[in-house]
Amino acid sequence: MEETLPRMASTCASADAPDAPDDLVQRAIRGDVTAFETLYRLHVGHVYGLSLRLSGDTHSAEECTQETFVRAWQCLGRFRGEAAFGSWLYRIAVNVMLNRYRREVRRTLLLVSTDTEEMERVPGGNAPLGLALDLEQAILELPLAARMVFVLHEIEGYGHPEIASLMHCATGTSKAHLHRARRRLQARLRS
């Protein structure tokens, strides 16, 4: 019987990085690049960590991290200030990654057309540097969809309805991906 994994954090909470002082954010909104660089230094670890887990390779994670911060700069005028800046930034990172995921799915469907297993193929790429935990390596070896659901649900604290909405799938599909991910991870750790 599978054990229910505890949530590590509330949705979109940036547990490791301290949130940015309000004056930093306001200065960045007014066009202060130095202030925005400080915001980058504060939050890059969290954004990159998420991107790495979701994408499975360092190159994609770096691209996604860059795209996240560039988009954040462009959309700073829309930051209203009720949620923490880190949460807002994190949301952008998730959307960037999911856009890439959806593009990958569409591309795979165009190339292969009917084989749904292709959507779950393990992408090639370099293993992240410096990761010693079996879990991290096992997550990277998960199929794409299962990996995304596992990371968003078990590590980032998203609920299935929200994941389903982000990934354009049914809630049941999200749950099935999570079940598959847990089964594979447990088998991997068992060996």
**Contact between residue 12 and residue 189 where contact means Cβ atoms under 8 Å apart:** no
**Contact between residue 182 and residue 150 where contact means Cβ atoms under 8 Å apart:** yes
Q: How far apart are CA 45 and CA 47, in angstroms?
A: 6
| The one among 10, 16, 161, 172 contacting other proteins by CB under 8 A | 16
Size of the site for other proteins (CB under 8 A): 58
Q: How far apart are CA 141 and CA 111, in angstroms?
A: 22
| The one among 19, 24, 49, 105 contacting other proteins by CB under 8 A | 49
* Binding residues for other proteins restricted to 171-190, rule: CB under 8 A: 182, 185-186, 189-190
Residue whose CB is less far from other proteins, 105 or 155: 155
Residue whose CB is less far from other proteins, 76 or 105: 76
* Binding residues for other proteins restricted to 106-165, rule: CB under 8 A: 128-131, 133-136, 154-155
Q: How far apart are CA 182 and CA 151, in angstroms?
A: 11
Q: How big is the chain by its Cα radius of gyration, in Å?
A: 17
| The one among 30, 102, 103, 107 contacting other proteins by CB under 8 A | 30
Burial 81-97 (b: 16+ CB within 10 A, else e): eeebbbebbbbbbbebb
CB of 166 to other proteins, least distance (A): 16
CB of 66 to other proteins, least distance (A): 5
Sign of CA dihedral 159, 181, 96, 40: positive
Stretch of 41-49, 97-105, 117-125, 159-167 lying at the interface with other proteins (CB under 8 A): 41-49
CB of 35 to other proteins, least distance (A): 11
Query: In 3D, which of 140, 107, 111 has the Cα closest to residue 148?
Result: 140
Q: How far apart are CA 31 and CA 33, in angstroms?
A: 6
> Which residues of this chain interact with other proteins, rule CB under 8 A?
1-3, 5-6, 8-9, 14-17, 26, 29-31, 33, 36-37, 40-41, 44-46, 48-49, 52, 58, 61-62, 65-66, 69-70, 73-74, 76-77, 79-83, 88, 128-131, 133-136, 154-155, 182, 185-186, 189-190
